[in-house]
């Protein structure tokens, strides 16, 4: 058993166990928090679950009127999240990987789309790092979680691009792996991300909608128009 076999076998199983268990533990811990009645006047401004969900989705696009200098800071997260989704869920070898684990599959994007999305995602991450290093406020409020999360997210993208040497159709047609060590490193960075996921800010992937709904409810009960 070589390095790739260890990464694809026991280490992958361990990282998936930590990911699933950690996410479930975080969600259960939040669900068990005591429910406190929100202050305000709900009888004057009814605001239920449907209104909260509608506000959470419709307000994902920022309103106009912001200073033009904030445009890049506003657009960059959209580029990152959309690009990352295309890379993770649209690349044919990634879909084949998910299919081996779960039996699920779906159509893949063309390789050119994936390459463009990967490049845009990497540039977006570098741009976010520049903002965090140069903006006095962001630099002051940044914690170890921010820096670790950035590195953990960046590594799979870079190592994944390093593995690509052939079209995805050629890679999937092979019955064996040619670049075993680079693939092992790429998978290892993915496993590090899975292990860190429940304990860092990456957990916002599961919490962003409930958090936005809670904020919408908080303002809605005070009569703020959403």
Decide if pLDDT at 80 tops 90: yes
Q: Where are the domains of the chain?
A: 71-220
Q: Give dist(CA 216, CA 37) in Å, integer.
A: 15
Contacts of 5 (CB under 8 A, 6+ apart): none
- Output the pLDDT for position 35: 66
Could you identify the residue written with the tokens 């106009």? Answer: 64
Q: How many other C-beta atoms are found inside a 10 Å radius of the C-beta of residue 201? A: 16
Pick the more confident residue, 118 or 220.
118
Instruction: Give the three-class secondary structure for 90.
Output: helix
At 55 the pLDDT is 63
- Whole-model pTM above 0.85? no
CB atoms within 10 A of CB 224: 12
Q: Which residue would you say has higher pLDDT here, 118 or 30?
A: 118
Mean pLDDT of the chain: 84
> Tens digit of pLDDT for each residue in 163-179?
887 888 888 888 777 77
Q: Tokens in use for 175?
A: 């019955």
pLDDT for 121 beyond 70: yes
Percent of the chain surpassing pLDDT 90: 51
Give pLDDT, residue 43.
47
Question: Rounded to an integer, what distance in angstroms lies between the CA atom of residue 130 and that of residue 115?
Answer: 23
- 127 or 43: which carries more pLDDT confidence? 127
Statement: residue 101 has pLDDT above 60? yes
CB half-sphere exposure, 67, CA atoms < 13 A: 3
Q: Render the burial of 25-54: b for 16+ CB within 10 Å, e for the rest.
A: ebeeeeeeeeeeeeebeeeeeebeeebbee
- Residue 201 clears pLDDT 80, i.e. is over it: yes
**d(Cα 117, Cα 86) in Å, to the nearest integer?**
6
Phi, psi of 44 (to 5 degrees): -90, -30
Task: Give 38-79 pLDDT, tens digit per residue.
Answer: 555 544 455 566 666 666 666 666 666 555 556 677 889 889
Percentage, residues of the chain above pLDDT 70 = 77
Averaged over 121-138, what is the pLDDT? Answer: 93
Whether pLDDT at 104 is above 50: yes
In CATH, what number does 71-220 get?
Answer: 1.20.950.20
Q: Residue 16: its pLDDT value, please?
A: 96
The tens digit of pLDDT for each residue in 142-170 reads: 999 999 999 999 999 999 988 887 888 88
**Residue 116, token pair as written in the block:** 């463009």
């Amino acid at each position: 058993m070589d390095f790739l076999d260890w990464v694809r076998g026991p280490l992958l199983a361990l990282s998936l166990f930590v990911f699933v268990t950690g996410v479930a533990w975080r969600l259960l811990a939040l669900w068990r928090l005591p429910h406190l009645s929100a202050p305000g006047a709900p009888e004057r401004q009814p605001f239920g679950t449907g209104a909260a969900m509608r506000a959470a989705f419709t307000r994902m696009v920022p309103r106009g009127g912001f200073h033009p200098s904030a445009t890049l800071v506003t657009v960059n997260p959209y580029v990152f999240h959309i690009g990352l989704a295309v890379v993770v869920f649209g690349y044919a070898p990634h879909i084949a990987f998910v299919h081996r684990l779960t039996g699920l599959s779906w159509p893949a994007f063309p390789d050119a789309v994936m390459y463009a999305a990967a490049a845009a995602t990497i540039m977006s991450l570098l741009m976010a790092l520049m903002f965090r290093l140069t903006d006095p406020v962001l630099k002051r409020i940044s914690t170890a979680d921010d820096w670790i999360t950035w590195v953990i997210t960046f590594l799979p993208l870079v190592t994944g691009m390093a593995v690509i040497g052939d079209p995805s159709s050629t890679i999937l047609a092979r019955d064996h792996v040619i670049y075993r060590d680079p693939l092992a490193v790429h998978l290892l960075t993915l496993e590090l991300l899975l292990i860190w996921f429940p304990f860092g800010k990456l957990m916002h992937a599961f919490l962003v909608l409930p958090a936005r709904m809670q904020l919408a409810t908080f303002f809605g009960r005070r009569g703020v128009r959403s």
